[in-house]
């Protein structure tokens, strides 16, 4: 990994390095060259609803077209929608998504998929980054065309609905859907339509600056309030680019990725749809998920943080189900990448087929107290393990927890944050231990 790519593409404040028109132009050129070198002719570009999306789309499109590669603009579409468009047809060599996911509107980012709808490997990111930073020479003999895919959402919604086996539910689930004023705002209505569900939508009117603002997967209070008021069966909360899903159960409690995985894994193994008894999640997963999967006879493999790392472990192990507690879930039997809307359909299928409430389904997994705090840091990112006072504090907390908990401290791959996670048997104690580590970090970095 170099200086541009983090755990999920290139990200930063829009109109500030590296999310500038100049960098976007060079990224477009690099992706165009990468596409041409691999024998393909087209790059698909999609975006979320941020005001800076149009600006970056223009720069990326110009860069790709300057290499002789055609550009197909998918417009506002979820990140996994671009991955899907990369997986159909034989001419599309790459897909670019302009999004900063769950970040505020001021930020933006550039994510890249290759042919087949999968994210780039570390080596491929390094190759493209080398092209960007060293201004690899662009062939001058050809110029690509830029055109619009007029039915991108129709294609993607048709694909999503084709994975849902229930055509005429006897009783429609009542649901509230929070689109985060992002890329789920339009396609959400297309997928969760009146013929299948009794759905009400909130935060589905994007204006360029309200994406993720007190709504969506990171801010579920308004969804909880709406669900309890309407006495709904489930609430769905997506993030800005709709690759994450957090849900609210019928009692108003938040259900995160670990418990969604547990619910879907139990259903899959009972219906013999889990090809191998393996589920992959990250080191951030709650210990309760491990205990739940063990009780079901399912092996739990833990990867490094990031949905790319989850996918790598899934492919190594042959697992078809994996994800992160943050709401990225991957169902490889259906799609090549994490997809919030697809994950919602899988969960809704379980609810309909089992005729159980979400709160009952979620009770399969006990959630152990887990406190996650973020400490703002500068871009220098010193090795905190080599700062004696911080290392001593972390060691002390680990010793006190023993085998009844764990500590994980890591830098965010997308923001200038040091993330501190402490898991333990008691919430108050766990919270205090997490605060102790954060105070040490603030005092010594």
Domain count, the chain: 4
Q: Which residues are catalytic?
A: 101
pLDDT score recorded for residue 412:
84
Mean pLDDT of 220-247: 98
pLDDT score recorded for residue 1:
45
355 inside domain: yes
Q: Which of 254, 273, 306 is the last residue of a domain?
A: 254
Q: What is the pLDDT of residues 143-188, one digit of tens each?
A: 999 999 999 999 999 999 999 999 989 899 999 999 999 999 999 9
2 inside domain: no
Q: Do residues 47 and 146 share a domain? A: yes
Query: Which residues are paired to 321 by β-bridges?
Result: 331
Mean pLDDT (the chain) is 95
pTM above 0.95, yes or no: no
Which of left, alpha, beta for 433 (phi over 0: left; psi -120 to 50: alpha)?
A: alpha
pLDDT band at 202 (very low <50, low <70, confident <90, very high): very high
**In this model, does residue 424 exceed pLDDT 60?**
yes
Residue 429 to residues 62, 306, 392, 422, 424: CA-CA distances in angstroms?
Answer: 55, 28, 18, 10, 8
Query: Which residues are paired to 404 by β-bridges?
Result: none
Q: What is the pLDDT of residues 83-105, one digit of tens each?
A: 999 999 889 999 999 999 999 99
Evaluate whether 69 touches 145 at the Cβ level (below 8 Å): no
Q: Do residues 328 and 393 share a domain? A: no
Q: Do residues 95 and 187 share a domain? A: no
243 inside domain: yes
Q: Do residues 305 and 246 share a domain? A: no
Q: Do residues 38 and 136 share a domain? A: yes
Q: Do residues 352 and 395 share a domain? A: no
Q: Do residues 124 and 182 share a domain? A: no
CA distance 419 to 417: 6
Q: Do residues 22 and 54 share a domain? A: yes
Q: Which of 301, 332, 362 is the last residue of a domain?
A: 362
Q: Do residues 239 and 303 share a domain? A: no
pLDDT band at 2 (very low <50, low <70, confident <90, very high): low
159 inside domain: no
Nearest alpha-carbon partner for 13 in 118, 103, 84, 125: 103
423 inside domain: yes
DSSP 8-53: TBEEEETTBTTBSHHHHHHHHHHHHHHHHHTT--EEEEEE-S-TTH
Q: What is the pLDDT of residues 345-404, one digit of tens each?
A: 999 999 999 999 999 999 999 998 989 999 998 878 889 999 999 999 999 999 999 878
Mean pLDDT of 67-93: 96
Q: Do residues 142 and 47 share a domain? A: yes
165 inside domain: no
Domain membership of residue 227 as a residue range: 172-254
Q: Do residues 242 and 260 share a domain? A: no
102 inside domain: yes
Q: Is the peptide bond before 18 cis (omega within 30 degrees of 0)?
A: yes
Question: CATH number, domain at 288?
Answer: 3.40.120.10
Q: Which tokens sit at 202?
A: 């909130």
Q: Do residues 336 and 324 share a domain? A: yes
Mean pLDDT of 5-34: 95
Q: Which of 254, 271, 296 is the last residue of a domain?
A: 254
pLDDT band at 207 (very low <50, low <70, confident <90, very high): very high
164 inside domain: no
- What is the radius of gyration, based on Cα positions, of the chain? 22
Residue 69 to residues 61, 142, 145, 186: CA-CA distances in angstroms?
Answer: 10, 8, 7, 29
Evaluate whether 102 touches 11 at the Cβ level (below 8 Å): no
**In this model, does residue 342 exceed pLDDT 70?**
yes
Question: CATH number, domain at 427?
Answer: 3.30.310.50
**In this model, does residue 217 exceed pLDDT 50?**
yes
Higher pLDDT, 293 or 2: 293
CA distance 191 to 161: 7
């Amino acid at each position: 990994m170099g200086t541009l790519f983090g755990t999920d593409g290139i990200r930063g404040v829009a109109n500030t390095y590296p999310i500038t028109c100049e960098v976007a132009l060079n990224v477009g050129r690099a992706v165009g060259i990468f596409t041409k070198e691999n024998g393909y002719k087209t790059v698909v570009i999609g975006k979320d609803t941020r005001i800076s999306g149009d600006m970056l789309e223009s720069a990326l499109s110009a860069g790709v077209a300057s290499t002789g590669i055609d550009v197909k603009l998918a417009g506002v579409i979820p990140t996994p929608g671009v991955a899907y468009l990369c997986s159909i047809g034989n001419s599309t060599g790459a897909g670019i998504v302009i999004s900063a996911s769950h970040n505020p509107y001021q930020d933006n980012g550039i994510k890249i998929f290759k042919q087949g709808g999968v994210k780039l490997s570390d080596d491929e990111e390094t190759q493209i980054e080398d092209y960007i930073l060293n201004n690899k020479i662009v062939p001058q003999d050809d110029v690509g065309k830029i055109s619009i895919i007029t039915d991108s959402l129709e294609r993607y919604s048709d694909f999503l609905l084709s994975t849902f086996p229930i055509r005429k539910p006897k009783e429609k689930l009542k649901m509230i859907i929070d689109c985060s004023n992002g890329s789920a705002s339009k396609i959400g209505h297309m997928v969760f339509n009146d013929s299948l569900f009794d759905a009400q939508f909130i935060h589905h009117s994007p204006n360029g600056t309200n994406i993720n603002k007190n709504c969506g997967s990171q801010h579920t209070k308004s969804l909880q309030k709406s669900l309890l008021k309407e006495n709904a069966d489930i609430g769905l909360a997506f993030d800005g680019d709709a690759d994450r899903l957090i849900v609210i159960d019928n009692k108003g409690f938040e259900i995160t990725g670990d418990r969604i995985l547990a619910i879907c894994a139990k259903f899959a193994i009972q219906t013999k749809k889990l090809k191998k008894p393996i589920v992959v999640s990250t080191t951030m997963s709650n210990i309760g998920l491990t205990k739940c999967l063990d009780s079901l006879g399912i092996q739990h493999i833990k990867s490094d943080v990031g949905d790319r790392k989850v996918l790598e472990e899934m492919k190594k192990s042959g697992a078809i189900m994996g994800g992160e507690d943050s709401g990225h879930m991957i169902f490889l039997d259906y799609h090549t990448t994490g997809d919030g809307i697809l994950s919602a359909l899988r969960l809704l299928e379980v609810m309909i087929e089992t005729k159980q409430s979400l709160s009952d389904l979620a009770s399969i997994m006990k959630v152990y107290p887990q406190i996650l705090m973020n400490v703002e840091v500068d871009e220098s990112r010193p090795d905190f393990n080599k700062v004696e006072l911080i290392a001593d504090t972390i060691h002390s907390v680990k010793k006190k927890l023993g085998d009844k908990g764990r500590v994980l401290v890591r830098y965010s791959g997308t923001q200038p944050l040091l993330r501190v996670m402490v898991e333990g048997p008691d919430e108050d104690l766990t919270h205090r231990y997490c605060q102790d580590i954060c105070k040490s970090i603030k005092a010594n970095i």
